[in-house]
Amino acid sequence: MTRVPVRPAALGATALAAALVLAGCSAGGGSSTSSGGSNKTLVVDNTFDLKTSDPARAFELTGSIVDKAIYETALTFQGSDTTKPLPQLTTFSESPDNKVLTLTLNGKHRFSSGNPVTIDDIVWSYKRVQAIAGNPSFLLTDQSTGKNLDIAKTSATTMTITDPNPNPALPFILPNPSLGVLDSKLVMKHGGTTTKDDGAEQYLNGHSAGSGPYELTSYSATTKVVFGPNPHYVGSKPAYGRVVLQNVTGPSQKIDVQGNSAQVATGLNAQQVQGIGSSLKVLKSTSPDVGYMWLNQNPAYSGGITNNPDFITAVHKGLNYQDILAVAGAGSSQPGGMVPSQFLGSIKPDATNTYDAAAAKAALTKSGYKGQTLTLSYPTDATLSGVEFSTLAQKVQSQLEAVGIKVKLSGTPISTLLDAYRAGKLQAGIMYWGPDFPDPSDYTTFSPGEALGLRAGWAASMSPEVTKAKQAAEASTGSDRAAAYAAWQRAANKAGAFVPLLQPARYIVTAGSIDKVEPNAVWTVDLAAIK
């Protein structure tokens, strides 16, 4: 929801495609923008899912925007390109077996306190993430065992991260803002530790402890976050000396950007950008978020139907994917599997996920279906890049009923839905998955016995061919990885517990005075890079 870069040969995913559509230019910067270079103010509208600005605990989309502005990471990405990790605080090298990653300090960086960034700060920050064991902690664990990666200082300027198994994704993981590097000397004075007893979150929600381009001026998880310049930042000075990131719903974002009370709106959907105005710019890209349907494989919750292979085929064939894309609007696309189209190993839709009403009806008859009701759950207070889940659920309901499947819609708030979904107790539903890092290994969780697989009642003993394909993919290195992850997805599609539905378009609307905004699959937008 929220879920990083040199082995281009091994991880050569297609860069995030973005097309800047210029509808016109306005002459000024808006009433909330003052003149004077770095004295200018930038107002950005975003629909908050913000819980904390403590990197070791933050793992929501808005949290990534906030922490990207405050903290630097060992490695980073350039603009929208997530295919190549680049140095930020460190350079890096990998052992030939992909088990050891060596990080070496890159230049001289300083925290907002004035303290220099040291290799000790990076080691301490990573061990704090592991010790707190919050949502981001899995980024620094071994996928196979769930045990923490070994993190060790090896000299005054170098450190290593060691995984007992090959981990070619690790350089792509380290740019995640949840792995932002903290000023350990400062944070320890305010309750920071590398144990589960860490008590620094409250301090970090009101103060800055990073070396990024900005520092916190004020913070509210429900209304707005205000940033001012980090006086000790060693990188290029941002174009704006003050940034206001404010919590605004999609329809109100449109009003704000049209009235120039905000210069950037991040949460408009395809319908809302229609007729947006000739003085505004619309940046359209393909969202890396994948909307999917699940069918519970546990007999205790399947209702006698969702774990029936022929019923599963009927669902896959009964969905008109192009009509679903039409609901999402122009720029949306159908993924072939759970790995989004921007990343290594993505596949095109095949016969498994192709609309065929006659084949769906035949499979339904073969399944012995006797009119049982399929209960389709979905969140009522969340959207998929501005697309309402209720609208998607209604479309799925009408399509499945057209081939003979009785469907009952069950919409609930996402917090309620997630509790039941995570417990594996929902028969079927629609949800989405956003990337934690831009690598296909982030998606094998949609396998039997894995975290997302278990949400669909897909136990480790089920579908051994999918498990075998998953294991082969996770063990692959170099040029074999793309084919291995493609094979895993095709096996998973055939088993059918998850149905990839769509990748919506992502829109960012800006005032005419904004010359540069680059969407990113990991942190949505880099506030300091807006010009």
pTM: 0.84
Please state which CATH class domain 290-503 belongs to: alpha beta
Predicted confidence (pLDDT) per residue in 100-112, tens digit: 999 999 999 999 9
What pLDDT, on the 0 to 100 scale, is given for residue 37? Answer: 46
* Count of other CB atoms within 10 angstroms of residue 351: 11
What pLDDT, on the 0 to 100 scale, is given for residue 275? Answer: 86
User: What residue spans in the chain does CATH classification 3.10.105.10 cover?
Assistant: 290-503
Check pLDDT > 60 for residue 29. no
Check pLDDT > 80 for residue 147. yes
Q: Rounded CA gap, 69 and 64, in Å?
A: 9
| Residue 338 CA from chain centroid, whole number | 13
What pLDDT, on the 0 to 100 scale, is given for residue 415? Answer: 85
User: Could you tell me the pLDDT band of residue 292, with boundaries at 50, 70 and 90?
Assistant: very high
φ, ψ at 254 (rounded to 5°)? -60, -45
Two tokens at 216? 């916190």
Check pLDDT > 60 for residue 4. no
User: What residue spans in the chain does CATH classification 3.40.190.10 cover?
Assistant: 18-284+507-529
Mean pLDDT of 302-331: 95
Q: How far is the CA of 474 from the CAs of 441, 445, 468, in angstroms? A: 7, 11, 10
Predicted confidence (pLDDT) per residue in 64-107, tens digit: 999 999 999 999 999 999 999 999 999 999 999 999 999 999 99
Check pLDDT > 80 for residue 267. yes
More confident residue, 284 or 319: 319
What pLDDT, on the 0 to 100 scale, is given for residue 7? Answer: 27
What pLDDT, on the 0 to 100 scale, is given for residue 3? Answer: 36
Check pLDDT > 70 for residue 115. yes
Q: What is the DSSP string of 369-412?
A: --SPEEEEEEESS-EETTEEHHHHHHHHHHHHHHTT-EEEEEEE
* CB 413 within 8 Å of CB 381: yes
What pLDDT, on the 0 to 100 scale, is given for residue 20? Answer: 37
User: Could you tell me the pLDDT band of residue 16, with boundaries at 50, 70 and 90?
Assistant: very low
* CB 496 within 8 Å of CB 308: no
Check pLDDT > 80 for residue 28. no
Nearest alpha-carbon partner for 427 in 290, 304, 291: 304
| Burial class of residue 370 (count of CB atoms within 10 Å of its CB; 0-12, 13-18, 19+) | exposed
Predicted confidence (pLDDT) per residue in 230-251, tens digit: 999 999 999 999 999 999 988 9
Cα dihedral sign for 436, 440, 442, 447? positive
What pLDDT, on the 0 to 100 scale, is given for residue 274? Answer: 87
Check pLDDT > 90 for residue 5. no
Window from 3-7, 156-160, 166-170, 183-187 with minimum mean pLDDT: 3-7
Predicted confidence (pLDDT) per residue in 373-417, tens digit: 999 999 998 888 878 899 999 999 999 999 999 999 999 998 899
What pLDDT, on the 0 to 100 scale, is given for residue 12? Answer: 33
Window from 21-35, 293-307, 360-374, 449-463 with minimum mean pLDDT: 21-35
Nearest alpha-carbon partner for 469 in 434, 495, 451: 495
Check pLDDT > 70 for residue 335. yes
What pLDDT, on the 0 to 100 scale, is given for residue 144? Answer: 81
User: Could you tell me the pLDDT band of residue 6, with boundaries at 50, 70 and 90?
Assistant: very low
- Cis ω for the linkage preceding 5 (within 30 of 0): yes
* CB 201 within 8 Å of CB 215: no
Superfamily of domain 18-284+507-529: Periplasmic binding protein-like II (3.40.190.10)
Percent of the residues in the chain that have a pLDDT greater than 90, as a whole number: 83
H/E stretch holding 359: helix 357-367
Predicted confidence (pLDDT) per residue in 129-138, tens digit: 999 999 999 9
What pLDDT, on the 0 to 100 scale, is given for residue 478? Answer: 87
Cα dihedral sign for 378, 381, 382, 383? positive
Mean pLDDT of 308-334: 95
If you count them, how many residues does the chain have?
531
Q: What is the dihedral of CA 304, 305, 307, 311, to 10 degrees?
A: 150
Check pLDDT > 70 for residue 491. yes
Nearest alpha-carbon partner for 481 in 11, 8, 16, 4: 11
Predicted confidence (pLDDT) per residue in 522-531, tens digit: 999 999 999 9
What pLDDT, on the 0 to 100 scale, is given for residue 124? Answer: 98
